[in-house]
Amino acid sequence: MAKATIGTETGAALPASGANRFQGASGLSSIVLPLGLAFLVLAAWQAYVTVWQIPSVILPSPVSIAKYIVARYDILLMHAIPTTLESAAGFLLALILGVAIAILITYSNVAREALYPNLIFFQLIPKIALAPLFIIWLGIGSQSRIAFSVFIAFFPVVIATTAGFLSVDRGILRLCRSLTATEWQVFTSVRFPMALPHIFSGMKIAITLAIIGVIIGEFITAQAGLGYLIIFATARADTEVSMAAIVVLCICGLLLYGLVALAETVANRFYSADSR
């Protein structure tokens, strides 16, 4: 029996075992390369600060920032929790709102013509200019920050999800209707699974915007959160604390982004197994 082969772009056949080694090397490089680049940047940063004796008030070294994070992790964690929870809440609400609007636009021509131009119009408004209004309307609590987070995060979900729903092959839709499938069956078995790549692309953008919305809200009015800590430390010219808060914020953002990527992997495996 002939060995299993996998075609390459050049048309040559690659043995399956070689393909597995190639995929493993590719996966390893996707981890090593970004980590290596980050290490080089941090090493250059550390060398620059050390050689030129840059004051910490201007640019603290990565080592000093890491030492502060380790020494005061309790304070940073205390501020990271509300920021992360509010970002997650804003993202989930933006996801629900965005998918609901996308479904409405997909199935209603009237709604598409009425909503889509207005969505574009609102997207063109500088979001940060509206942040103080959310404080006036909803107060200084977490409600205003979550609402503002939803406001700036739902648009990419709407656009990406709508594109996914409308990109389904018309031939497949006609086949489903010829088999007397209901609209709900078409949606759950065809439109939604085929739109998943688009939906998760919008979700990955939305999660970053949700964090930005919460941080902007914390800049304006908050008594806790990483945004509040950054503003408080900056006002005291404590750059080391500000940089440490930014590092923790990046970690929280990567965690939330990773959860979205994990959900994408689970969804793809579920629908792949279901199709078999």
Name the residue type at position 179. Answer: L
Closest alpha carbon to 256 in 219, 196, 198, 214: 214
| Residue 143 CA to its chain's centroid (Å) | 21
Give the model's pLDDT for residue 245: 95
Query: How many CA atoms lie less than 13 Å away from 46 in the CB half-sphere?
Result: 11
Residue spans per domain, the chain:
5-51, 62-275
Quote the pLDDT of residue 35: 85
Question: Once rounded to an integer, what is the mean pLDDT over residues 188-211?
Answer: 93
Fold classified for 62-275? MetI-like fold (1.10.3720)
- The mean pLDDT of 244-256, rounded to a whole number, is 95
Inter-axis angle of helices 192-220 and 226-235, to 10 degrees? 30
The answer to whether 144 and 134 are in contact (CB under 8 A) is yes
Does residue 149 contact residue 213 with C-beta atoms inside 8 Å? yes
Q: Where are the beta strands (DSSP E) in the chain?
A: 5-7, 13-15
pLDDT tens digits for 42-96? 999 999 999 998 898 899 999 999 999 999 999 999 999 999 999 999 999 999 9
Q: 240 vs 56, 57, 237, CA distance in Å?
A: 7, 7, 9
